[in-house]
Amino acid sequence: MAAAAGVAASTVSRSFTNPKRVNQHTREHVLAVADELGYAPNPAARALESGRTNTLALLVPDITNPYFSGVIKGAERAAAAAGLTLVLGDTAENVETEEQLVRRLGPAVDGFVLSASRLPDEVLRRAAELNPIALVNRATPGVACVVADFDDGTRQIVEHLASYGHRSFVFLGGPPESWSGARRWAGLRAAAEAAGLSATRFGPYVPTLASGPAAADAVLAAGATAVVAHNDMLAIGVMLRLAERGVVVPDDVSVVGFDNIVGSDFCSPALTTLAERTEDAGARAVEAIVAQAHTRVSEPPTRVLPTQLVVRRSTGPLRS
């Protein structure tokens, strides 16, 4: 390339990265030749020198889970806006896979967004020393994170149920390792106490459609009038089973989910659910990493994103 343009490699380099350092005329010529040759600076060589790869990795437990689609999209958009390339990794809900990916990708990226990470605090802390890291819906001291406001969200849920006259509800728990699952239950319990409701936790359940029958049967056996499920998939699975058993939602039982996934709007009845701003979360996490790249601070910020209860047809008044 340098030869083709009749200049030194350094001039080509500066034409791309440091315009003011070369004569405008020269620069135009270089760029013209580059365009003609379809030339673009080799990113690997660039990375070698600078140590910066202009690449970010986003790790999620399950790419196909629609809940993470929002995070992915938001991160992708923010990364593109910052001129960064996004590498996507699927940890298969598996701690070893996650750790391995962090290790393997480490030298190849400028930072990690870890969504719903299962990594122990200790491992996270160590990884954060090597690469900028931002957590989504997971918190650990010393690492930047973006979390949904579950305290407020769960309060909204409880008050919504209370306003319909419910005096108690059942929480169908998800995976025990889930940080957000723990936050949800803690929030629900606190809000229930504040509102004078009684809350019971069932489970843990694998939060999928397939767990619906077992969970629904447990709910019926307990004679509950309201159910809050770990996520929408489980909530929908429960509703399917309830319908099968002739139980009417919301007349007999009210059902609430978490996540507001695609489908929670068109299942039957449409599901009342707590919506998180997942795209925002992904974008903020990327921004946090970009900020860290500039200036590392000892105690990175925790951002709390608002949540909103989307009220649909799956909740209703307590049958008197």
Partner DNA sequence: GGTCACATGGCAAGCGTTTGCCATTTGTTG
Partner DNA sequence: CAACAAATGGCAAACGCTTGCCATGTGACC
Pattern 33-52, binding to DNA, x per CB under 7 A?
------x-xx--xx-xxxx-
Residue environment code for 280-290, b if the CB has 16+ CB neighbours within 10 A, otherwise e: bbbbbbbbbbb
Q: For residue 306, give the H/E element and its range.
A: none
Containing H/E element for 59?
strand 55-60
240 in contact with a copy of itself (CB under 8 A): yes
- DSSP per residue over 186-222, as a string? HHHHHHHHHHT-EEEEE-----SGGGHHHHHHHHHHH
How many other C-beta atoms can be found within 10 angstroms of the C-beta atom of residue 63?
A: 14
Based on CB atoms, which residue is closest to a copy of itself, 66 or 213?
66
For residue 50, report the phi and psi dihedrals to the nearest 5 degrees. -85, -20
What the block records as the tokens of 81 is 């806006």
Reference 55, options 37, 82, 23; nearest CA is 82
Partner from a copy of itself, DNA, none contacting 263, C-beta within 5 to 8 A by type? a copy of itself
Determine which residue in the list 1, 2, 31, 63 makes contact with a copy of itself, applying CB under 8 A: 63
Considering only the stretches 81-89, 142-150, 195-203, 217-225, report the one whose residues sit in contact with a copy of itself under the rule CB under 8 A: 81-89
Binding status of residue 18 toward DNA by CB under 7 A: yes
Select the binding partner of residue 16 from a copy of itself, DNA, none (C-beta < 5 to 8 A, by kind). DNA
Positions touching a copy of itself (CB under 8 A) are 38, 40-45, 47-48, 53, 55, 63-64, 66, 69-70, 72-73, 76-77, 80, 85-90, 103-108, 126, 130, 209, 236, 240, 262-263, 265-268
Q: Which residues bind DNA (CB under 7 A)?
A: 1, 6-14, 16-18, 20-27, 39, 41-42, 45-46, 48-51
